[in-house]
Amino acid sequence: MRWMRGSALFVAGTLVGCLIMAAAASPQKKLNGLTLNHFGLYVKDMDESTKFYTENMGFRKAFSFTDGAGHPVVYLQIDRNTFLEMTPADKDHPAGFSHAGILADDVKSTVAALQKKGVKVEDVHLGGTKSLIANTLDPNGVRLELLSYPPESLQRKAMDAWK
């Protein structure tokens, strides 16, 4: 059980590191205003995982909500601008890495620029947390969630309340 948790964190960290290093090493013109904001995990037991990350890792619970499919989602705040998003694993989504959340200064112009480059990105829409969101997949099938946080979004409220 412990090795699975450790493996999930290792994989998530490796993927996030690869995303950051690829962006830093890329000789192409980069899109400006993009920062890693969160990563998502599918977890076997929401209560056990929440307890582990809050009590052992020192993260604080920022907020929770129920997604459109009726699944609970918990956001834990690692620091002012960085979150861990957890949702229950199921038969279609085994425990482990779910996605990377990339915060954009202007998600609409970022999506337009990516689409102009031929990247398949869904249209920007309002997410369950009142954030502006658009999803795309990298060449490995990893979901990248492109976001902007207006003042009414749960993430922006948590970030502004950080002390």
For the stretch 51-89, pLDDT in tens is 999 999 999 999 999 998 899 999 999 999 999 999 999
Rounded to the nearest angstrom, the gap between the alpha carbon of residue 154 and the centroid of all alpha carbons in its chain is 14
Q: Which fold would CATH assign to domain 2-161?
A: 2,3-Dihydroxybiphenyl 1,2-Dioxygenase; domain 1 (3.10.180)
| pTM greater than 0.85 (yes/no) | no
Instruction: Please say whether the dihedral angle defined by the alpha carbons of residues 61, 163, 102 and 3, taken in this order, is positive or negative.
Output: negative
Phi and psi at 65, nearest 5°, equal -160, 175
What per-residue confidence (pLDDT) applies to 119? 96
HSE toward the beta carbon, residue 100, CA cutoff 13 A: 22
Q: Name which residue leads in pLDDT, 5 or 32.
A: 32
Please give the average per-residue pLDDT across 30-47, as a whole number: 91
Phi and psi at 90, nearest 5°, equal -150, -170
What per-residue confidence (pLDDT) applies to 36? 96
Domain boundary assignment for the chain: 2-161
What per-residue confidence (pLDDT) applies to 32? 75
For the stretch 80-135, pLDDT in tens is 999 999 999 999 999 999 999 999 999 999 999 999 999 999 999 999 999 999 99
